[in-house]
Amino acid sequence: MAAHVFCTRLKCLLRDRATVFWTMAFPIILALLFNATLRNVDKISESFHPVEAAVIDNAAYEKDSFFKEALNAVSNGEGRIFDLTPVSEEEADDLLKDGTISGYFTAGDPVTVTAGGSGFEASLMQTFADSYLQMAYASANIMETQPQAYEKLMTSLNEKTEYLRDVSISDAEPDSAYSYFYSLLAMACLYAGFWGLKETEDIQADLSARAARVNTAPVKKGKMFFSSLAASFVISMTEILLLFLFLRYVLAIDFGMHTDLVLLTTAAGCLLGLSGGAFIGAVVRGSENLKTGVMLGLTMTGCMLAGMMYQGIRTQILENAPVVGWINPVNLLTDAYYNIYYMPSLGRFWSDIAALCAFIAVFSAGTFLKIRRQKYASL
């Protein structure tokens, strides 16, 4: 009988095209939009083009060897700040009017900057000039008042000792865009709550005529309910697996080498969404639209706090209010996916899974206790 209920319920649920759209098609559409806007965000933010600048090649510039050396230091090499061109004052004015350069330096006391506007390039040139003047005045003051200290200072500056070095905690390449896709997958898992909500609607006889007919069937209510939930889990898990395959092999989102753990996390996420939706359907009294609104409101709030709209929110919460992250199921799922991808140690991952299992247990127990106590005088 349980197998018959499972198969029949599977057919009924698949006919609900609206729910299939929101639980499968909608996350795929969001993934395409995320891919179009976020995939190269790190490359764009890290790209920097040297500022086209000039310096007036006059007697003052040739005489000021320190300024000349400082400009050469930031105008050569792969990480240079300026593409510097020594020109006469007339040529500099012509280049500035043509827009060939963003501005030009003039040596003297003090060093001045002439720019064609107030944008980023002009601000960078002025910042460099101000920093140079501060260092020059400080060095001149030390040399005048404490010559011995000045010699030690110059010696220490010439001796380049590296005290720090970059060490990656993982072989995985960090990519901030991945967190958005992981949050999207977590959201899709919680959208399984649509199916859980539908199951409680169709098992409580005082909510719909269909539920009343179900309660008159010669099958135990618990067996009917759990067979229906199994059908919902199969559908939601299939939808999330299709989304995962789309992210992994179509959009080339890297989830790391532990595919088995990714599938485990996805299954836990589907169970969480299913049990959470069923719990809301059981405890919230009101229309179906009200229950759907409550579920969507909680899910999207969790997505926002997990960084799906802006990644900085998740970082701020983890730094200032970590308890909010632990009671947010979307954040737990996102964190679990990210730990699989990036962290060499899986200790934090298993903590996330344990917290998810605790949520599932609470939601399932609450739903079971609420539904099994319901009795009807007549149907």
pLDDT, tens digit (0-9, with 9 covering 90-100), for 205-246: 556 666 566 666 556 666 777 888 899 999 999 999 999 999
Q: What is the pLDDT of residue 315?
A: 82
Please report, in angstroms and rounded to a whole number, the separation of the first and last CA atoms in the chain. Answer: 23
Asked if residue 168 has pLDDT above 60, the reply is: no
Q: What is the pLDDT of residue 41?
A: 57
Asked if residue 265 has pLDDT above 70, the reply is: yes
Q: Which one-letter DSSP state was computed for residue 374?
A: -
Averaged pLDDT of the chain: 82
Overall average pLDDT of the 57-83 stretch = 83
Cα separation, 94 vs 56, whole angstroms: 13
Asked if residue 53 has pLDDT above 80, the reply is: yes
Distances (CA, A) of 90 to 37, 93, 129, 193: 45, 5, 21, 71
Task: Identify residue 229 by its one-letter amino acid code.
Answer: L
Asked if residue 46 has pLDDT above 70, the reply is: no
For the question of whether the overall pTM of this predicted structure is more than 0.75, the answer is no
Asked if residue 12 has pLDDT above 70, the reply is: yes
Q: What is the pLDDT of residue 191?
A: 94
CB-based burial of residue 82 (10 Å sphere; 0-12 exposed, 13-18 middle, 19+ buried)?
A: buried
Each residue's pLDDT tens digit, 111-130: 888 887 767 788 888 888 88
Q: What is the pLDDT of residue 141?
A: 72
Asked if residue 44 has pLDDT above 50, the reply is: no
Query: Does the N-terminal peptide bond of residue 86 adopt cis geometry, omega within 30 degrees of 0?
Result: no
Q: What is the pLDDT of residue 226?
A: 81
Long-range own/partner contacts, residues 100-105 (CB < 8 A, 24 or more apart): 100/52, 101/52, 101/53, 101/54, 102/51, 102/52, 102/53, 103/53, 103/54, 104/53, 104/54, 104/55, 104/56, 105/53, 105/54, 105/55, 105/56, 105/71, 105/129
What's the topology of domain 45-158? D-Maltodextrin-Binding Protein; domain 2 (3.40.190)
Sketch the domain layout of the chain as residue ranges: 2-39+177-371, 45-158
**Is 266 or 99 the better-scoring residue by pLDDT?**
266
Q: Which one-letter DSSP state was computed for residue 192?
A: T
Each residue's pLDDT tens digit, 283-293: 888 888 898 89
Phi, psi of 55 (to 5 degrees): -135, 140
Q: What is the pLDDT of residue 336?
A: 93
Task: Identify residue 104 by its one-letter amino acid code.
Answer: Y
Cα separation, 292 vs 297, whole angstroms: 8
Most distant CA pair in the chain, distance: 104
Closest by alpha carbon to 297, among 219, 177, 211, 193? 193
**Is 157 or 140 the better-scoring residue by pLDDT?**
140
Each residue's pLDDT tens digit, 326-366: 999 999 999 999 899 888 788 889 999 999 999 999 999 99
